[in-house]
Amino acid sequence: MVCTMAFLRALLSTARMIRHSPPLSAGLPADDAVLLDAPDERLSPALVAAALGDPEPAAKLLATTRDAADWENRDRYLGRLVTFARHRDGWLTDWLATAPRDPDALLVKAELAVRRAWESPARAERLHEAGPLITAAAEADPRDPVPWRLALDHARGTHATHTVFESLWEQAIRRSAHHYGCHVAALRYLSAAWYGSHRECFDFAERAAEDAVPHSLVQALPVRAAFALLLDTQALGRTTSVLEERIDAAADAAIRLSAAYRPGDPWPAEVRNLLAYVLLARGRWAEALEQFTLIGQHATSFPWSSVSDDALGRFLDARDGARLQVASVTPLRGRADRGRPRGHYA
């Protein structure tokens, strides 16, 4: 009888998936329409020009963010330009040759050096060599918090003490109290994988989120702490009910933040990708599917590259998994939208 009931439940679940999967796909872009880390309309011309060896559009883009004190976009654009320069840096070499003291060129040079140092087998030595480059970038424009985000990343890799870290953190928040990138760098330093613990990580993230201005991405910092814990949980196979409650609270807060942005907005795309991962890990299928709908075509490397060598493929698999899980628990009778489940599903 037990086997028969299990067989019947499997058949029912399959029937539900067959019936409800197509309607649940209606709000999702086709697989081939999803783009990984798609540049926005300001960054795209700079990347195209850099590919042709012309640094001027990148220089103008970063100068614009600096003049406007648009530190969040400055950090985001810097990251994408440096990702490109890791493999093709001729345009940066030309830029530095013509403007060796340009604050923006110095910032790109410093970030590139730090990235390459992190990837080197001689990481500690290479990071120490990159230190003066970070100092030069910071001195080139004392208002800019982004070099201090670099300094925080550098401190983590060079095993800086908590005292050194705290002094760097003070310099960073003095320039921009709610800078997302600096908060992420600090969270990494405090993580269990480096110099803190999961509880320290959550404490820092939750305090920062409470102090953040409305709609700031810093409000989603706890969900990054949740992601770090989930990765460890998968590796170690254990957690506690208190930490699980904090994971769900972090997800709830990130859902509220996500709702403040329009569907398909590229600005919160990474937070929504991260939130979808956490919701899936917690078995909250319907809420994860809603985030995939809000994400639209904007898949991001993080967090999927942390768990797979094929970030886009992992994103698409996760999206399909959420859709099938929701379909499998939607009642056969009645309209799919009225029967769509909500809340937690283990």
Strand-pair category, 35-36 with 298-299? parallel
In-domain check, residue 297: no
Rounded CA gap, 106 and 136, in Å?
7
Per-residue pLDDT, 243: 84
In-domain check, residue 68: yes
In-domain check, residue 138: yes
Per-residue pLDDT of the chain (346 residues; tens, 9 = 90+): 445 544 434 433 444 444 444 555 567 999 999 999 999 999 999 999 999 999 999 999 999 999 999 999 999 999 999 999 999 999 999 999 999 999 999 999 999 999 999 999 999 999 999 999 999 999 999 999 999 999 999 999 999 999 999 999 999 999 999 999 999 999 999 999 999 999 999 999 999 999 999 999 999 999 999 999 999 877 555 566 778 899 999 999 999 999 999 999 999 999 999 999 999 999 999 999 999 999 999 999 999 999 999 999 999 999 999 999 998 877 655 544 444 444 443 3
Rounded CA gap, 80 and 45, in Å?
12
Which contacts (CB < 8 Å, 24+ apart) does range 331-335 have? 331/16, 332/12, 332/15, 332/16, 332/19
In-domain check, residue 73: yes
Could you list the residue range(s) of the whole structural domain that residue 86 is in?
A: 40-145
Least Cα distance to 202 among 175, 183, 226 occurs for 226
In-domain check, residue 300: no
Q: What is the pTM of this model?
A: 0.86
In-domain check, residue 77: yes
3-state secondary structure the chain: CHHHHHHHHHHHHHHHHHHHHHHHCCCCCCHHHCEECCCCCCHHHHHHHHHCCCCHHHHHHHHHHHHCCCHHHHHHHHHHHHHHHCCCCHHHHHHHHHCCCCHHHHHHHHHHHHHHHHHCCCHHHHHHHHHHHHHHHHHHCCCCCHHHHHHHHHHHHCCCCHHHHHHHHHHHHHHCCCCHHHHHHHHHHCCCCCCCCHHHHHHHHHHHHHHCCCCCHHHHHHHHHHHHHHHHHHHHCCCCHHHHHHHHHHHHHHHHHHHCCCCCCCCCHHHHHHHHHHHHHCCCHHHHHHHHHHHCCEECHHHHCCCCCCHHHHHHHHHHHHHHHHHHCCCCCCCHHHHCCCCCCC
Rounded CA gap, 289 and 320, in Å?
9
Cis amide leading into 303 (omega within 30):
yes
In-domain check, residue 25: no
Per-residue pLDDT, 30: 95
Domains contained in the chain, number:
1
In-domain check, residue 54: yes
Bridge partners of residue 35, in order along the sequence: 298
Q: Are 91 and 97 in contact (CB under 8 A)?
A: no
* The dihedral formed by the CA atoms of 295, 70, 180 and 273, expressed in degrees to the nearest 10: 10
Is residue 173 classed exposed, middle or buried when 0-12, 13-18 and 19+ CB atoms within 10 A define those classes? middle
Rounded CA gap, 43 and 171, in Å?
28
Which residue reads 């909500």 in tokens? 342
